[in-house]
Amino acid sequence: MKDARGEAAEIGLRGHARRFHIGLRRPDNWIELLRYCTVGASGYIVNLVVFKIALDYMPYLVAFTVAFVIAATSNFVWNRLWAFRVTHGVPHHQYARFLTVSLVALVFDLCTLAFLVEEVGMAKLPAAAIAIVIATPVSFLGNKLWSFR
- This prediction has a pTM of 0.73
Question: What are 118-142's pLDDT values in tens digits?
Answer: 999 999 999 999 999 998 888 878 8
DSSP state at residue 145: I
CA separation for the pair 67, 71 (Å, rounded): 6
Please indicate, yes or no, if residue 15 is contained in any of the structural domains: no
Q: Is residue 92 part of a domain?
A: yes
Q: Render pLDDT for 3-54 as a digit per residue (tens, 0 to 9).
A: 555 554 545 556 666 665 665 667 777 888 888 889 989 999 999 999 999 9
Domain membership of residue 52 (yes or no) is: yes
For 53-103, the pLDDT digits (tens) are: 999 999 999 999 999 999 988 988 888 888 877 777 777 888 888 888 888
Q: Residue 42 domain-assigned? A: yes
Residue 81 lies in domain: 27-147
Q: How many domains does the chain have?
A: 1
In a domain, 13, yes or no: no
Instruction: Examine residue 56 and state whether it is found in any structural domain, yes or no.
Output: yes
- The answer to the question of residue 12 being in a domain is no
Query: Does some domain include residue 66?
Result: yes
